Structure 1
Amino acid sequence: MAGFHQVAGLSDLSEDLPRFEQALAELAARLGLDLSTLAADHIAVRCHQNATAERWKAGLLQCG
């Protein structure tokens, strides 16, 4: 089972993850929240293009 970093069809998600993590850290700082004791159980993404959604679906199915 491949990790999403290894699936070519998910490269845009993989490449954007550091930006998302930084934005989340900045928001938490503005709100005075300590995220170090928390663990994310999922991340939701939104897609506005059917072709991208199908590519992500095919890629995520490779991840399990």
Structure 2
Amino acid sequence: MLLDPGNGVVWQEAGLLHWELGNSRAAVLAFEHAVATMQEPALCSRVQSLLDEALCQLN
């Protein structure tokens, strides 16, 4: 199975997995990629919220 690196949903899922595993830095990177590649504005807004939460955890 091949994954499209330009698919924001894939990056969102990667970010969620990293977050659940306690890897906040990797989650932030994945969420940043998700925001940059997300096609749907509603999903982009949700991912931005996740990104903001992950960034707060780093600080």
* TM-score normalised according to structure 2 size: 0.36
User: Higher helix proportion, which one?
Assistant: 2
Q: Which has the higher contact order (CA 8 A, sep 6+)?
A: 1
What TM-score does the superposition give when structure 1 sets the normalisation length?
A: 0.34
Q: Which has the larger radius of gyration?
A: 1
